[in-house]
Amino acid sequence: MFKNTIAFKQAITGASALTLLMAAPALAQNSGPVLDEIIVTAQFRKAGLHDVPISMSAVDAKVIEESSIVKIEDLTTIVPNFTYTQTGISTNFFIRGVGSGINQGFEQSVGVYVDGVHHPRGQQVRAPFLDLERIEVLRGPQSILFGKNSVAGAMNITTARPTEEFEGSVLVQREFEDGESIVEAMLSGPISDRVRARIAGRYRDFDGYIENATLNRDEPNREEFTVRGTMEVDLSEDLMATFKVELSDFDSLGRNIEIENAQAVGGLTYGQVLFGLFGQDASVLNETRDGIRSSNGDSSNNKTRTYQMTLDWQVGDFNVQAISAYETLKYDEVCDCDFTGGNVFTADLQEQYKQFSQEIRLTSPVGDTFDYILGAYFQSSEHTYKDQIIVASNSILIPALGAPGGLLSNTQAARQANVDATVLSAFAQVNWHFQDNLTLQLGGRITNDNRDGDRVMDVVAIGGGAVPAAQAAAAIVFASGFGISSTNLNALGPTGSFFLGTLGAPQVTGERNVTKFSPDIKLVWDATDNAMFYASWARGFKSGGFDFRANNRGTYATAEDAFEFDDEQATNYEIGGKFKLGASAELNATAFFTKFDDLQISIFDGVLGFNVGNAATSEVKGLELDGRWAISDHVRLNGGMALTDFEFTDFKNGQCYFGQTPDFANGLCDYTGLSNQLVSKFSGNIGMDFDMQIGKDYEITGMANLFHASSYDAAATHDPNGVQDGFIKINARLGFGPQDGPWEIAVLAKNLTNEITRTYTGDAPLAGSSFGRKTNYSFFSQGRTIAVQGRLKF
């Protein structure tokens, strides 16, 4: 099953240690320390984590606060089988090795839901966390209750609610090495007998941890501001309305990218070509990972807005909930996308997304024989994406291409793509308790997804407008040098016609109207009061759509064929158990096997574009364990591990890395038998938290967490230069303050082992295709940090 013997041994060792750790309390009596119960809402009902027949992790408000979990990537060291990365132009996150590729036309394979509202765009996930009650990470397809685009899993985020009593808090945090400052504040309480409100805000400023030698500044520099207001109104004894408004701006300057693995041809690396032959800034000569990069500057300015109304109506023993939401995303990015300090080209990107959604759920009381959840969902969205590949007058491409290069001066290849979509679905989940200790859970969701899309590419002057008549043939240079089809080719005679035939039409439209049914069957056996077993079979799908990022038709017969990509489908088989070991410990175990058909992939065309496709079949199987143990009233342990085996069982249209010999005449490589990007055979964590009384009124609190992951491919192309070796990261916190008192001061350390890890690797654009030099760019994680926290509660 597992091909990596070292990873297998690591997994067995980790599983054995965790099992022994959690099994120890079973030998004890029920008297003594009692483990706090974690309440979750993964199945739209409040239930203990150990009572929910799903492989999941839950992170509560205390852990979020004490661990300073301020963004989604902070979860990767405490949630097994969850990974996150950013690429040059997108945001990717994965559960069990499955996630979405590089294309703004993709929706995410991991569904993200905040207070029941779906956030489908990857960029929305970059928004910082604020004043949360809980984060639940559900592994495996969750299509019945969470919707069509949760084939890999779902993230269910619950924000903090207004309180019956007045309370408030202020948090100040400062990290000195990389210059991070965080200020959070919250006020909550009643306005009248029937109205309660809560307002929370957060500001974060971050200098950065990589030096940009070209611009003499630290990067990525981030500035984030988020504010949320929530109001609950008791309209009657049985009807409550909740209104929520959240505004978030999160901006950055620069990236955590470095150039590495530069290979010399004719005695010169890519950086040496840029410096020696084209007179570019000397910073381009730094082509090794050392915390120093070269770049002419990147920026990303993001705005998200969410307006939500939720009605909760208690009708006898039944609950009716209606969730109405309107959300927007807008961002504007500048990408120095050759990822060097040379003046080669830049890419500007803009995206706007607007979504209205309405969901209605009817939840029955828990019955002796049957209980159920019924619901309907409607969503409409407008999505616009634009980008421009810009060649300025000082670009080295102009002299590098000789006489034709002059035609590119101050021009850009400008793309615009649009999709309007509507989604209608109905779902039901029924629990049949056909024996006292046996429950059959049957679920189904039928979804109609209707969308219209279009995309066009034009060559225009920088800033817009037609290119000068003397540069009309610039479209030929974009086509011949970079594989970019444009509408301008239509007016360029036989040469333009030739490239249109070779590259495909620059303007395409498409329509999709697909109806799918997702079933889910679970058998739950409550063997004892302390042991629950379950087995499940589920099928989910993620919507197909339209390719925003292609510059040409790729390997497809026509541009129209290339524009549309198919739905992907997951079939999941799972068995698991959840066990209470005495009163002081819990152990959860899951074994799974998932088959994916038509997994949506993004294939770099080797120059400047990405073409969407579908990997025919892939399989992922593995084992997940997690547990908690209250050793005493003051010391608690927790841990989790995942053993994962991902394999593409039929994937003959993979992207080759530069210099790799293609397996097929169409220039593509065979990934069959290989794993996916960012998949560690073994990953796991073990943590401890404690509290210790000091004197009569004070206490010291602390926590420590160790995370280990075995090696993985940071490159989607399986480039051997992009392999990240196995690593260990340790986080710790020590706090001091009055017991249950109004203030606390703490020291928080992250990544004490100072592990700098690759999170994404790719071929540096144009380094190989235009200059013949094998060169990689890689995103690198932050090193060790130590911060001081101060919190005041009132």
- Helix (H) / strand (E) element for 21: namely helix 5-23
**Rg, Å, the chain Cα set:** 27
3-class secondary-structure state, position 497: helix
DSSP state at residue 36: P
Neighbours of 738 (CB within 10 A): 12
Please report, to the nearest 10 degrees, the dihedral formed by the alpha carbons of residues 611, 504, 543, 595 taken in order: -50
- Name the residue type at position 158: T
Record the tokens describing residue 512, joined without a space: 């999709």
Tell the burial category of 558 from Cβ atoms under 10 Å away from its Cβ (0-12, 13-18, 19+): exposed
The answer to whether the beta carbons of residues 81 and 56 sit under 8 Å apart is: no
The residue among 410, 404, 764, 758 whose CA lies nearest residue 606 is 764
Query: Helix crossing, 493-503 with 474-482: angle to 10°?
Result: 30
The Cα–Cα gap between 361 and 375 comes to: 4
Record the tokens describing residue 594, joined without a space: 């998932």
The Cα–Cα gap between 647 and 27 comes to: 40
Record the tokens describing residue 498, joined without a space: 């030739």
The Cα–Cα gap between 606 and 768 comes to: 8
Phi, psi of 778 (to 5 degrees): -140, 140
Record the tokens describing residue 545, joined without a space: 């759509």
Phi, psi of 126 (to 5 degrees): -75, -15
Which residue is listed with tokens 């009605």? 311
CA atoms 68, 69, 74, 78: torsion sign = positive
End-to-end alpha carbon distance in the chain: 55
pLDDT in tens, 153-185: 999 999 999 999 999 999 999 999 999 999 999
Neighbours of 740 (CB within 10 A): 8
3-class secondary-structure state, position 405: helix
Which residue is listed with tokens 């949360």? 132
Phi, psi of 532 (to 5 degrees): -130, 135
The answer to whether the beta carbons of residues 366 and 317 sit under 8 Å apart is: no
Neighbours of 690 (CB within 10 A): 17
SS (H, E, C) 42-108: CCCCCEEHHHCCCCEEEEEHHHHHHCCCCCHHHHHHCCCCEEEEECCCCEEEEECCEECCCCCCCCC
Q: Are strands 110-114 and 153-159 parallel, antiparallel or unpaired?
A: parallel
The pLDDT assigned to 88 comes to: 65
The answer to whether the beta carbons of residues 383 and 356 sit under 8 Å apart is: no
3-class secondary-structure state, position 503: helix
The answer to whether the beta carbons of residues 171 and 790 sit under 8 Å apart is: yes
Record the tokens describing residue 742, joined without a space: 């109004």
The Cα–Cα gap between 605 and 334 comes to: 21
The Cα–Cα gap between 607 and 481 comes to: 9
The pLDDT assigned to 7 comes to: 44
The residue among 304, 329, 183 whose CA lies nearest residue 249 is 304
The Cα–Cα gap between 676 and 679 comes to: 6
The residue among 683, 531, 485, 489 whose CA lies nearest residue 50 is 531
Record the tokens describing residue 3, joined without a space: 């091909």
DSSP assignment of 220-278: -EEEEEEEEEEEEEESSSSEEEEEEEEEEEEEEES-SEEEE----BTTB-HHHIIIIIT
SS (H, E, C) 221-234: EEEEEEEEEEEEEE
The pLDDT assigned to 667 comes to: 85
The Cα–Cα gap between 419 and 543 comes to: 13
The Cα–Cα gap between 613 and 509 comes to: 17
The Cα–Cα gap between 226 and 168 comes to: 17
3-class secondary-structure state, position 493: helix
The pLDDT assigned to 453 comes to: 96
The answer to whether the beta carbons of residues 787 and 175 sit under 8 Å apart is: yes
The pLDDT assigned to 688 comes to: 94
Record the tokens describing residue 242, joined without a space: 């909740």
Record the tokens describing residue 617, joined without a space: 């079949």
DSSP state at residue 449: E
The Cα–Cα gap between 256 and 471 comes to: 37
The pLDDT assigned to 124 comes to: 84
Cα distances from 101 to residues 549, 596, 625, in angstroms, run 11, 15, 28
The answer to whether the beta carbons of residues 515 and 544 sit under 8 Å apart is: no
Residues of the chain falling short of pLDDT 70:
1-31, 88-89
The pLDDT assigned to 580 comes to: 93
The residue among 483, 455, 457, 449 whose CA lies nearest residue 546 is 455
- Name the residue type at position 317: D
DSSP state at residue 715: B
